[in-house]
Every structure is written in structure tokens, then in C-alpha cells.
């Protein structure tokens, strides 16, 4: 008597030739608020947004106010001369701390081969496109020398993931 393989398994298929469907795109709920009075308010909102939508973001890049102000000063020195002391209303108060942040899904990044053989688990890096970009912008009519004259604005939000949430 010959035994027959179970119906859900093809004995002739090898693991390397099995069909693996491409991951579907999943759209998360859009952010309801895109303007915040401070970075703390932005961080609190993103934390709640992640809990509600089952997404996990991490910080990829961050530009400090000091770096931004140095770049503006260097451009002014190049344009008007190194000894010029021209005030620029684009400079920000140092108390803001951060000028811009980019948050990315924890599945962002190119998958890398780390050996030979079959994995026992799925990959973490799936090149997920989900991102949130935010930066500090001057409030309309606000005093640029005061922290209260600035607000945090989400400039780009991509709510699409290429993996299940």
C-alpha cells in the first residue's frame, strides 16, 4: 500500500520554486491633525496615532535648529561677506531644539541577504514607503525670535505600507 501525500502539499514542489505572493499595499488611516503648537504635542499625537492605527514609526533623520541656523549664517556670509552682520528673520530660536524630523515605518529599508538557506522567520526590512515628515514653521504673524512664534507642521505623510499592520 502506497501512502499519498496530504492534499495541501505538493511533493514535487521544492521550497525554492514555491509561489510566494507579493505583499499587498495596506493603507492606514490618514492623520487627522497636521499642525501642532510644539514638538511635544507632535510626539504625543504620533504616539496616540501609532496606537490607534497599529503602526510603528522610528526616527530616521533629524535636523537641529543649531545646524539650520549655521547653514543660514554660512549662506549669508557667502552672499554678503564674512564680516557682515545682517540679521536674518529665517533664523530660529535655539530653544526649539529641532527644525525637522523624518519618521519612517520600522519595516523601512532594503532587505539584505545575511546568509544562505531558508529563513525561519519573515524579514523585517521590506522597503516600506510609510513616512511622516514634519518641520517647524513660523506661525502666521508670529514673532520669529520667540518659541511661541513657531509651530510644527506635517509636510508629508505617506500612509501606505507594503506589509500587514
User: How confident is residue 86, by pLDDT bands cut at 50, 70 and 90?
Assistant: low
Q: Is the dihedral of CA 107, 108, 114, 116 positive or negative?
A: positive
CA–CA dist 13, 96 (Å, integer): 59
Query: Rounded mean pLDDT of 76-93?
Result: 79
8 Å CB contact between 164 and 130? no
Check whether 9 has a pLDDT greater than 70: no
Q: What secondary structure, in 3-state letters, does 96-149 show?
A: HCEEEEEEEECCCCCCCCCCCCCCCCCCCCCCCCCEEEEEEEECCCCCCCCHHH
pLDDT, one tens digit per residue, over 112-139 is 666 666 655 555 777 889 999 999 999 8
φ, ψ of residue 120 in degrees (nearest 5): -90, -10
Residue bearing the bigger pLDDT, 34 or 113: 34
Check whether 5 has a pLDDT greater than 50: no
What pLDDT does 7 receive?
A: 43
Check whether 88 has a pLDDT greater than 90: no
Check whether 30 has a pLDDT greater than 50: yes
User: How confident is residue 52, by pLDDT bands cut at 50, 70 and 90?
Assistant: very high
| pLDDT, the chain, mean | 81
CA–CA dist 84, 104 (Å, integer): 40
Q: What secondary structure, in 3-state letters, does 50-79 show?
A: HHHHCCCEEEEEEEEHHHHHHHHHHHHHHH
Domain ranges for the chain: 90-111+123-165
Q: Which three cell numbers stand for residue 58?
A: 522610528
Q: Enumerate the β-bridge partners of residue 154.
A: 134
Residue bearing the bigger pLDDT, 3 or 142: 142
8 Å CB contact between 134 and 153? yes
pLDDT, one tens digit per residue, over 143-156 is 877 888 899 999 99
Query: Rounded mean pLDDT of 41-54?
Result: 97
Check whether 13 has a pLDDT greater than 60: no
pLDDT > 70 in the chain, percent? 76
Amino acid at each position: 500500500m502506497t501512502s499519498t501525500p496530504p492534499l495541501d502539499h505538493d511533493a514535487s514542489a521544492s521550497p525554492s520554486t514555491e509561489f510566494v505572493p507579493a505583499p499587498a499595499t495596506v493603507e492606514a488611516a490618514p492623520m487627522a491633525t497636521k499642525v501642532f503648537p510644539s514638538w511635544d504635542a507632535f510626539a504625543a499625537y504620533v504616539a496616540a496615532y501609532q496606537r490607534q492605527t497599529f503602526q510603528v514609526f522610528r526616527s530616521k533623520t533629524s535636523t537641529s535648529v543649531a545646524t539650520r541656523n549655521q547653514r543660514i549664517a554660512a549662506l549669508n556670509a557667502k552672499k554678503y561677506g564674512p564680516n557682515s552682520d545682517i540679521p536674518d528673520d529665517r533664523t530660529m530660536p535655539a530653544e526649539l531644539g529641532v527644525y525637522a524630523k523624518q519618521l519612517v515605518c520600522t519595516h523601512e529599508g532594503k532587505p539584505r541577504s545575511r546568509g544562505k538557506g531558508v529563513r525561519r522567520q519573515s524579514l523585517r526590512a521590506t522597503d516600506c514607503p510609510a513616512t511622516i515628515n514634519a518641520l517647524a514653521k513660523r506661525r502666521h504673524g508670529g514673532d520669529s525670535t520667540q518659541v511661541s512664534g513657531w509651530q510644527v507642521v506635517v509636510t508629508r505623510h505617506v500612509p501606505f505600507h507594503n506589509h500587514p499592520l
